[in-house]
Structure formats: structure tokens, C-alpha cells
């Protein structure tokens, strides 16, 4: 297959901070909120080509639970303030839209509300355009 | 050279969000704080093997100015609350320590105070150990 438009999207990783306490002091023997979120996502149906990975702290502790989406030539997006017991649909919907892009940029109006309000940061891919060069053009 | 201990460290990138307003409403014709920080870093002496790159918004707008450190097999670290007019030494010191590592992890006591208090998030490298596997061992 040579037509890029027909190619499947590049792999996406859904990273979940499993150490997150979501601001609370979880009992020592309890599953942490971040781990609960990970376990629920393990049971969910993810888009084909998406891999779920557990991470040992993404240091967004003040705004957990946290996930990051990355892969291929996309910008990496970190989202916070996820409720490990709440509905997963907004995250899964945003994940599917992200996975369908080549650059990770979901058009604003198509972003789930949670993504609009809880983006902690984004990191560019290895190859990205230089905004200073663009400004000079 | 085959001895890894003698190899130079892998390349590091210092990413700077040049669109940052640092919470303020900069006049339309003024250089933004993020751009000022970038320009000052352009004039600074960076460790050999470190590349400065401008980024068009890393969406850490509530806690700017922002930089990210990444490269090689290291964890990516995002730091916020930088003062574009303040001393650059803490950032440059932390950058040098980061660049000297293979995994991006600066021992806690060696981290500049600003890094200790203003880490917004970290993202693992492509290859990292699975904390769930480690827990089972």
C-alpha cells in the first residue's frame, strides 16, 4: 500500500500514571486511584493500534489522575484531573480522535470537554516546524 | 570507542515555549515573556550536545514560562514558572546535570531548587521498565 491516505495510523501509546493518589492519602494497602484507572482501561476496548502502558509517576501529582497520549509523528499530550471512578467515554473518545491524526492535533471543536479544560502540557514530536522560521516567512 | 563510559552523552534538546505570556496580557507589539526567555538562552553558553529549540506553545499556560528537557534515552521533564528576566543559572545548572545522565533522572539532592518545586510533568522515554512487572518480581 503506497497511498498514505489508506495507511493505518501510526501506533499510539496511552500512558497512565499508576502511582497517582489523586491528591488523597490512600491507605497503604489500597489500590491507588491511578492504578484503578489503569485497571479499568485494561478492561476497556481501545482502538486498534493503541497500546496501554503503566508509568511509575508522571509527576503531575497536583492534578491527577494523569494520562499521556503519544506515538508516531504526533505531539504528546498530557491530561490531568481524571476521575478513576468516572465515565471513561470522554477519554476513550479523545483517544480515538487523537489516534486518527498524524500530528496529534484534534480540532478544538472536536475535543472532548475534559481535554479542553484539563490539558496539562504538550510536547512536540522529534520533527516539528520552527515557529521562528515561520514568523520570518 | 566501545566503552560506553567514555562515550559522550546523547543529544539533549532544551525546548522553550516562545508564545508564553506568563499569565499576563502582553501588549500586541511586545516580545512575549517566553520569547524573551528563548532569546536570553540563545545568548547563553549551553553544554556541548545541547540544542535550543523554540516551540509554538506547550500549553502549560497557567504555569509559564515553560521549558522541556529531552533527548536520547532520557525521561522528558517539563518545568514551569520560570522568570524570563531572572537568573538563568539554576536552569543552566539543571540542564547540565540532566544532559550528563543517560536516563534524565537527576538525584534529588542535586536538583536545582527550581526543578524540585516546579516540575510540571515528566514523560517516559520510548523504552522504559514496566512498573507492573517490577511489582510482580
- Residues of chain B in contact with residue A53, where contact means CB-CB under 8 angstroms, are 130
Question: B59 with B107: CB under 8 angstroms?
Answer: no
Q: What distance in Å separates the CA atoms of residue A133 and residue B14, rounded to the nearest whole number?
A: 17
Cell matching residue A10: 501510526
pLDDT of A39: 97
Predicted ipTM? 0.91
Top CATH class of A3-136 equals alpha beta
- B15 strand-pairing partners: B53, B68
Asked if A131's CB is within 8 angstroms of B55's CB, the reply is: yes
Q: What distance in Å separates the CA atoms of residue A24 and residue A29, rounded to the nearest whole number?
A: 14
Asked if B78's CB is within 8 angstroms of A123's CB, the reply is: yes
* Maximum pairwise Cα distance, chain B: 58
Asked if B130's CB is within 8 angstroms of A54's CB, the reply is: yes
pLDDT, tens digit, 9 for 90 and up, residues B54-102: 999 999 999 999 999 999 999 999 999 999 999 999 999 999 999 999 9
Q: Taking the model in full, what pTM does it have?
A: 0.92
The reply to whether A67 touches chain B by the CB within 8 Å rule is no
DSSP, res A14: E
Residue A134: is its pLDDT beyond 60?
yes
Asked if A66's CB is within 8 angstroms of B123's CB, the reply is: no
pLDDT, tens digit, 9 for 90 and up, residues B28-63: 678 899 999 999 999 999 999 999 999 999 999 999
The reply to whether A66 touches chain B by the CB within 8 Å rule is yes
Look at A107-111, A131-135, B82-86 and tell me which has the smallest mean pLDDT.
Answer: A131-135
Cell matching residue B65: 514560562
Nearest 5°: CA angle at A75, between A84 and B75? 75
- Residues of chain A in contact with residue B129, where contact means CB-CB under 8 angstroms, are 56
- Residues of chain B in contact with residue A137, where contact means CB-CB under 8 angstroms, are none
Amino acid at each position: 500500500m503506497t497511498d498514505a491516505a489508506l495507511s493505518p495510523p501510526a501506533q499510539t501509546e496511552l500512558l497512565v500514571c499508576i502511582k497517582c493518589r489523586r491528591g488523597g492519602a490512600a491507605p497503604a494497602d489500597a489500590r491507588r486511584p491511578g492504578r484503578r484507572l489503569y485497571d479499568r482501561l485494561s478492561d476497556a476496548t481501545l482502538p486498534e493500534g493503541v497500546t496501554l502502558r503503566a508509568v511509575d509517576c508522571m509527576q503531575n501529582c497536583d492534578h491527577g489522575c494523569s494520562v499521556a497520549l503519544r506515538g508516531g509523528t504526533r505531539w504528546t499530550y498530557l491530561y490531568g484531573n481524571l476521575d478513576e471512578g468516572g465515565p471513561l467515554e470522554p477519554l476513550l473518545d479523545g483517544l480515538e480522535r487523537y489516534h486518527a491524526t498524524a500530528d496529534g492535533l484534534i480540532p478544538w471543536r472536536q475535543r472532548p470537554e475534559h481535554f479542553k479544560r484539563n490539558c496539562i502540557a504538550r510536547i512536540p514530536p522529534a520533527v516539528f516546524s520552527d515557529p521562528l522560521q515561520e514568523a520570518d516567512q
